[in-house]
A = this chain, B = another copy of it.
Amino acid sequence: MNGYMDRIARVDLTSLEVTTEPLQEHTARKYLGGKGLGAYLLYHYLKPHTDPYAPDNLLIFDTGPLTGTTFPCSGRAAVITRSPMTGTFLDSYAGGSFGPMLKHAGYDVLVISGKAEKPVYILVDNGAISIREAGKLWGLATIDAERLLRNSLKEKDGARVSIATVGPAGEKLVRCANIATEGRAFGRGGAGAVMGSKNLKAVALRGSYKVAIADEAALKEVAGRARKKIAEHPMTKKGGVFPRMGTLMTTDVTQVTGTLPTRNWAENVFGRAEQINGNAFVQNKTKSHACYMCPIACSREIRTTAFGVKTVNEGPEYETVFSFGANCEIGDPAVINAADKLCEEYGMDTITCGSAVGFAMECFEKGLITTKDTGGLDLHFGNGEAVVALVHLIGKKEGIGAVLSDGVRHASTKIKGSADFAIHVKGLELPGYDPRGMKGQGLTYALSDRGACHVRSNTLRTELLAPSEKTDRYSYEGKAVMVSELQLTYVMFDVLISCAFGAFAITPEDYVDAVSATTGWSFSMKELRTLTQRTWNLTRLFNSREGFDRKDDTLPPRLFNEASTKGPSRGQVVDKKAFEKMLDEYYEAVGWDIATGIPTKKTLNELGIADW
């Protein structure tokens, strides 16, 4: 009744209709926000088997109960859609200020459907939603489009502007296109291509609405408590590894454990890893950047020069260092930084893009493609100039780039003999942790709802950083239950929507208290757990409806069949039988049918999502 808080806005780009409606409390309490609420909306409002590029596909931006409040590390936003990479449920997240600004502009959720006749952008301006011509922005790099639009919208009355855009890749339906915002991205799965398919160049937010807080004092207390923990935790405190280098700390960890995918996953240690590790990049660090309400500021500006061209870049993250670095046998931070920047400008996911380059290199080295196919590019592993050139081709969807732009699954159907080393699950390329050296991560990838993913559970901490006797990384024992619990933790981050880094210091109990303070509910750990289970089951149900089942919960053949030859994990594969046993145990643990991997009626009943 207070008008602006807790409202869902729907924009149909075909009819140009804009609808806003309250977010019902019973729905919010069942699905909270972010992934949960997005799954609820997508499951209910997207017709089954809708082509991801069809106007009817929904592109949902949403927030969580803590977004826009003073609670630390709560400044992220989600985008939810059906993925053109995988055909599965897709949720991607980005930091910056887009999430908080969506609330300040008047809405919790923005649901976009339809397809505009001409390029447009959506402006949400202190509650008012308009659809505006974007002809002048079309074709521009994400960064340029954002800058131009920001200048035209001028910040006023203390109301900042937040903008999310697609680049040329999204416009051209490069399948791995992402949505960029303030040097960050809603990265994986192709949400940018969905946005491009709608002729939607950008979403701009401006507003000065206050976020409603049920109990200001209680929120102040728990936010203060959380900030204190962040300030004290060795990972997140000033001078800690996250403020210093963010995700770049990971390269050393995966390298020493034999889990750093190298040479398109033929190996899992990289000879020049030290040249591209965290310290190597941090030498070129010129600034730190923080998302809204983040005391950690893990993001960093890196300045390098490759082939005479200067790059001033926000990033790269570890995943990019893996995909364009070890995976392509590139040992030069400047090349990785340049490739990362190009991906940002075209608006493309760096894991998919770097993986596609590594995959093409293996094709090239094996003679499956030649310079005739590559337009003269010498795609031997380690050729940095070729990497940069190939990113351009993928972004422009030209030549061999057009083949690769759909990701390695589709490319492998066009390049004969390459299917055995197309490294993906359900069509999404694997992030930079090799399951042959950490068996739990294999289960993580196989079961992730959006295709292979390292943030739908990640065994980095439990298998690599701080393994217990029970979690030997080469063992399969107990991994099913471990992964199922980790998944719920990641769902927690994604329904809240909260940053996983802050969670090194903040406890689930803190989050629960913060939710109670903002919503006025007596939220509980038990309720949170059920809610995360409900959400995880709902995305599974979505995928089941689209035809996915147990047979899709698998890994690329290379991980089952080919051992690496060097480093601590040499000789290791993922044992197919042991893997299938893990799957049995997992389905058993979460209450899914063992034969099909589909949630049982009993499970759905218990979670209050039956009879749909």
Contacts and interface: CB of A to CB of B under 8 A. Distances in A.
B17 A20 contact: yes
A125 B123 contact: no
Contact of A132 (B3, B18, B130): B3
A118 B16 contact: no
Contacts of A17: 19-21
Nearest to A126: B128
Nearest to A22: B16
A316 interface: no
A605 interface: no
Contacts of A131: 1, 3
A138 to B, nearest CB: 14
Given A3-B131, A128-B126, A19 B22 contact: no
A121 to B, nearest CB: 10
Interface in A109-148: 118, 120, 123, 125-133
Interface in A7-39: 15-22
Nearest to A19: B19
A243 to B, nearest CB: 39
Interface residues of A, number: 26
A130 B3 contact: yes
Contacts of A168: none
Contacts of A133: 1-2
A123 B126 CA distance: 13
Contact of A120 (B1, B4, B20): B1
A432 interface: no
B126 A126 contact: yes
A20 B129 contact: yes
A353 to B, nearest CB: 34
Given A128-B106, A128-B128, A157-B157, A123 B3 contact: yes
A2 B133 CA distance: 7
Nearest to A21: B17
Contacts of A127: 125, 127-130
B20 A132 contact: no
A19 B10 CA distance: 9
A18 B16 contact: no
Interface string A566-587: 0000000000000000000000
A400 to B, nearest CB: 38
B132 A1 contact: yes
Interface string A265-283: 0000000000000000000
A106 B15 CA distance: 18
Contacts of A20: 17-19, 129
A1 to B, nearest CB: 6
Contacts of A4: 128, 130
A18 B106 CA distance: 13
A476 B133 CA distance: 59
Contacts of A128: 4, 106, 125-128
Nearest to A4: B130
A592 to B, nearest CB: 36
Contacts of A15: 21-22
Interface string A153-173: 000010000000000000000
A31 B490 CA distance: 56
Most buried by B among A4, A18, A106, A123: A18
A311 B508 CA distance: 66
A126 B126 CA distance: 8
Contacts of A120: 1
A4 B106 CA distance: 17
A130 B2 CA distance: 8
A528 B127 CA distance: 37
A346 to B, nearest CB: 27
Contact of A126 (B18, B118, B125): B125
A118 B2 CA distance: 12
A118 B1 CA distance: 9
A132 B130 CA distance: 22
Contacts of A19: 17-20
Interface string A340-353: 00000000000000
Among A3, A15, A123: residue with most chain B CB under 10 A:
A3
Contacts of A22: 15-16
Contacts of A21: 15-18
Nearest to A123: B3
Task: For the complex of A and B, list the 6 residue pairs with the smallest distance between their C-beta atoms, beginning with the closest.
Answer: A127-B128, A3-B130, A19-B19, A128-B128, A17-B21, A18-B20
Given A1-B133, A127-B129, 17 more contacts: A1-B16, A1-B118, A1-B120, A2-B132, A3-B123, A3-B130, A3-B132, A4-B130, A15-B22, A18-B20, A18-B21, A19-B19, A19-B20, A20-B129, A126-B126, A126-B128, A157-B157
18 contacts: A1-B118, A1-B120, A1-B131, A1-B132, A3-B123, A3-B132, A4-B128, A16-B21, A16-B22, A17-B19, A17-B20, A18-B19, A19-B19, A106-B128, A125-B127, A126-B126, A127-B129, A128-B128
